[in-house]
Homo-oligomer: A and B are copies of this chain.
Amino acid sequence: MSKSSQTGDEDRRTGPKRSEASRIAVQQAAIVELNEHGWRGFSVDRVAKRAKASKQTIYKWWQGPALLAVEAVLDTLPEIVEEDGNPEFKVAALISPLIAAMRNGDGAHIWRGVLLAAADDPDASEVFREWMHRDIRQPLRHVLAREANLGHIRRDWEIDFALELLVGPIWQRLLGMRGPIPERYAERLAESVMAYHYKDAPKG
């Protein structure tokens, strides 16, 4: 669960705790709504009605529709696991859960919504950026740093560019949205990142 949906304080003393049932109902409803109406038609009122929750409760735990949508979907991603293999494979592994999610039925539609929600709202954007930083950029830096021939890729802007090469094309796919995501898409993106960086690598 992301930060903003946590209580944060541990010394709360009285009254009932936050209802987990309510949280789950709201997030599930949010995903269904995002799928059925897209980000454009996403509405807190409808989520509340569907989840049989009150708007007050939603606004208490989420700052607004954008954060609600973004967190609801991000919370469904699996934990990141360190994979073994050659660096290309490791890089591909960073985005393959994302790509798997998008291939899964309405996944593309939903993730499109997330992207838009994140872009619409500064706070949601921040949450999204943090997720990407933690779950993709950080591991990516590790892989690149440890890889013998790419040890020279260290500076922030270099990592940023690698990240852009890795995930940017996914957004283009998502926004253009023609047909399903092809096979081996993650692998090809990883190859592209590698190809760009190896060209500067010291030959050996």
Q: Which residues of A contact B (CB under 8 A)?
A: 38-40, 112, 115-116, 118-121, 125, 129, 132, 157, 160-161, 163-165, 167-173, 175-178, 182, 188, 191-192, 195-196, 198-199
Question: A98: shortest Cβ distance to chain B, in Å?
Answer: 13
Q: How far is the CA of A178 from the CA of B132 in the complex (A)?
A: 14
Closest Cβ neighbor of A113 among chain B residues: B119
Q: How far is the CA of A116 from the CA of B177 in the complex (A)?
A: 14
Candidates B38, B157, B182, B192; contact of A196 at CB < 8 Å: B192
Chain B CB within 10 A, most for which of A165, A170, A172, A173: A172
How many chain copies does the complex carry? 4
Is B119 in contact with A175, judged by CB distance below 8 angstroms? yes
Closest Cβ neighbor of A157 among chain B residues: B182
Question: A91: shortest Cβ distance to chain B, in Å?
Answer: 14
Question: A22: shortest Cβ distance to chain B, in Å?
Answer: 16
Q: Which residues of B contact A125 (CB under 8 A)?
A: 175, 177
Is A164 in contact with B175, judged by CB distance below 8 angstroms? no
Closest Cβ neighbor of A176 among chain B residues: B129
Q: Which residues of B contact A119 (CB under 8 A)?
A: 39, 112, 115-116, 175
Closest Cβ neighbor of A167 among chain B residues: B172
